[in-house]
Structure 1
Amino acid sequence: MEIDSNSGENPLLNESEKVEEPKRGMCFSSKQEVYTFYAKYAKHVGFSIAYKTQRRLEINDQAGIGMSRNYNSMVVEAGVYESLTFDERDTRNYINKARRLRNLFWADAMSRAAYEEFGDVVSFDTTYLTNKYDMPFALFIGVNHHGQSILLGCGLLSSEDTDTFVWLFKSW
């Protein structure tokens, strides 16, 4: 999450300069122009703003940087806790939601046909973990008429919580 706070001194903003108030229907040619206008207006009326994107937060999570460290670095960058419009719980919820977006379910045509034929008894197992990402590997296993185990479907899960399992079984 990138934080850009204008609560400090900004040599580009002159206190004696006339600041236009925001009006309905104003048009800007870029995000940067909007940000510059709003930062100037905010400073003029006595508050600061922060621009944030969640992409840096997601990258840090993928790199294994813990949520507390991630959040504290944003506080340091913003200057004080009050400059942020979110708290650590919000960042944790965001990352948990983003992780759920990384769930994957797979069942090919052969597995679907095997389920139709041998789907009387299905075993579900999430004891396998991949080493690099620590994502549970979920298997749907059946038994064919020779007593052999057959793969009916599988998934990679971002977490082992209720929402993730509900998603997996609906996908199944």
Structure 2
Amino acid sequence: MVRFSVSQDGIWAVNKAIESHNHELARSDDKHLLRSFRSISDENASVLKYMSEVGIKIVDAFTYISDEVGGVGNLGFTKRDAYNYIQKEKRAKIETRDTNSLIKLFKEWAIDDMFAWDVQTDEDDCLLNFFWVYGLGRIDYDCFGDVIIFDISYSLNKYNLAYAPIVGVNNHWQNILL
């Protein structure tokens, strides 16, 4: 938990930070119940990605790689990890037409002078993140921005982007989207 304050000059300060866990960690004999986050080496990831792109089934690519290293036990990742890796790679590539549609929509909404937006792209000009705020949200922030919540608990979408609304509380203790 982190609590911030903002001075009249717009300077942010951390008022409170609690780093401790609020629950017990998994016991050693329960770790098999946790989701797998094993990493795939860069070399194996490249092979998986290439074979998938040329139309080879993931199961066949996995079998090929495991044969090359002397068996599944020498891989360090499972067949499920291979499927998850390829799916994540596919989702991470935001299609150009979707990016252009989003920017077109933002430009249409920008007829409201207080509407603000920005996008972040990588070196290949692929969309990484985007942000927008309506004029009313900015006005609400000026009035009620002394308590805000940056909520990142929403699930990722097909492009592996999290939806993270900034929420405030008005004078009636109602949530308002900032």
TM range (shorter): 0.3 to 0.5
Higher RCO (C-alpha 8 Å, min separation 6): 1
